[in-house]
Amino acid sequence: MRKAAIIMSGICLIPLLIACGNPPEAVTAADFFAMDTYISLKACGRDAEAAVSEARDHIYTLEHTFSVTDETSDVWQINHAGGQPVNVSGDTVSVIRTALAMNRESGGAFSISLYPVLRAWGFTTGSYRIPQDSEIRDLLRHTDDTRIAVSDSTVAVPADMQLDLGAIAKGYAGDAVMEIMKRHRIDSAIVNLGGNVQALGSRPDGTAWTVGITDPFAPDSLIGTVAVRDKAVITSGHYERYFIGEDGRRYWHILDPADGRPADNGLASVTVIGVSGTRCDALSTALFAEGTQRAVEHWRESGNFEMILVTSDGGILLTEGIADDYTAKSDIPYGVVKRHEEQ
């Protein structure tokens, strides 16, 4: 029955012909499109097929919950409630609470209330345009995360505001997948949500997972790889969604809430490595908007994540906690940022 349903939905779970563990167990993989991106799941263990199947179904559920366009989603309901509190799922409460905490932690650089401005640029539909300064200024009056009210089961936003969870939802989904894997006693798994990678344990052969870091100036190449166990490796970059304006300039999808324009504060990409996918996803967007200097200060103050910055002029900076796990794949020399500033 389940196989039939899976085939009908155009996706298959692939029990790979490789074994893992001792005694040998099957590796199960699934590749599909959800949350606006290509997703691939891989798990090794006796219960891998059930785990991958449940994880994929759960990603579809979260996609639906967090969709801005699906009229039955939590986010759509919140955005169209005319300012009234809306009963929402625990997932929505949790992800919005983390987002609001990141808004405070980033000094406002991370903001889930930018949706009206993102729409004006066409990032929500692909009908790109460069809005007038006055239009952006007017729309920015309707963006203020501090006006979002969250209780244990409801969310309310003022009638003139709308939310978008695109900067954090994939990390949240990755964490949920890891929990499902653990519940099925899987100890080796990896999920890739459009370049956001989360690894459980190590590879089936016991070595660390290796995650490639895309070169933002040549997205088919890598600047390097990082070796990780039980970590999320999440990137925000100016190459992920952008258009070239009539003026020949590149306009990308991460906005600086201070001026409603693509954040251009010295960074081409930010990769965050840490334990929580939700936090790493929010952080990667936040740090990109903050820019190089504030990102380094943020890392020094925080201490529970590592990062790889590629600057707009092509430089590479790693924080010291990830330097030993990094293997360069390009000739560009990289700098290591130390916890304490050297005199």
Which residues contact Mg ion (rule: CB under 5 A)? 167, 281, 284-285
Residue 123 CA to chain centroid, in angstroms? 16
Pairing label, strands 188-193, 37-44: antiparallel
Residue closer to ligand AMP (CB basis): 45 or 274 = 274
Residue closer to ligand AMP (CB basis): 49 or 281 = 281
Alpha helices for the chain (secondary structure H): 2-8, 48-66, 74-79, 90-105, 115-121, 133-140, 169-183, 277-290, 292-302
Minimal distance in Å, beta carbon 88 to ligand AMP?
19
Residue 143 contacts ligand AMP per CB under 6 A: no
Give me the 256-285 binding string for ligand AMP, x by CB under 6 A, dash otherwise. Answer: -x-----------------------x--xx
Task: Give the Cβ contact number of residue 78 at 10 Å.
Answer: 23
Residue closer to ligand AMP (CB basis): 112 or 200 = 112
Minimal distance in Å, beta carbon 207 to ligand AMP?
28
Element (H, E) at 109: none
Asked if residues 123 and 251 have their Cβ atoms less than 8 Å apart, the reply is no
- Give the count of alpha carbons within 13 A of 11, CB side only: 20
Residue 63 contacts ligand AMP per CB under 6 A: no
Asked if residues 317 and 335 have their Cβ atoms less than 8 Å apart, the reply is yes
Residue closer to ligand AMP (CB basis): 47 or 70 = 70
Alpha-carbon dihedral sign for residues 99, 103, 106, 109: positive
Minimal distance in Å, beta carbon 281 to ligand AMP?
5
Residue 114 contacts ligand AMP per CB under 6 A: yes
Q: Which among 23-31, 146-154, 233-241, 272-280 is the span making contact with ligand AMP, rule CB under 6 A?
A: 233-241
Residue closer to ligand AMP (CB basis): 204 or 262 = 262
Residue 164 contact partner, candidates Mg ion, ligand AMP, none, CB within 5 to 8 A by sort of partner: ligand AMP
Nearest to 161 by CA among 123, 119, 132: 119
In the window 159-178, what residues touch ligand AMP (CB under 6 A)? 164, 166-167
* Neighbouring residues of 54: CB distance < 8 A, sequence distance ≥ 6: 180, 184
Q: Which among 56-64, 85-93, 105-113, 300-308 is the span making contact with ligand AMP, rule CB under 6 A?
A: 105-113
DSSP labels, 222-246: EEEEEEESS-EEEEEETTSSEEE-T
Residue 121 contacts ligand AMP per CB under 6 A: no
Say how far apart CA 54 and CA 179 lie, in whole Å: 11
Residue 254 contact partner, candidates ligand AMP, Mg ion, none, CB within 5 to 8 A by sort of partner: ligand AMP
Count of residues engaged in binding ligand AMP, rule: CB under 6 A: 21
Residue 287 contacts ligand AMP per CB under 6 A: no
Residue 299 contacts ligand AMP per CB under 6 A: no
Task: Give the Cβ contact number of residue 207 at 10 Å.
Answer: 10
Residues engaged in binding ligand AMP (CB under 6 A): 109-112, 114, 118, 123, 164, 166-167, 236, 240-241, 253-255, 257, 281, 284-285, 289
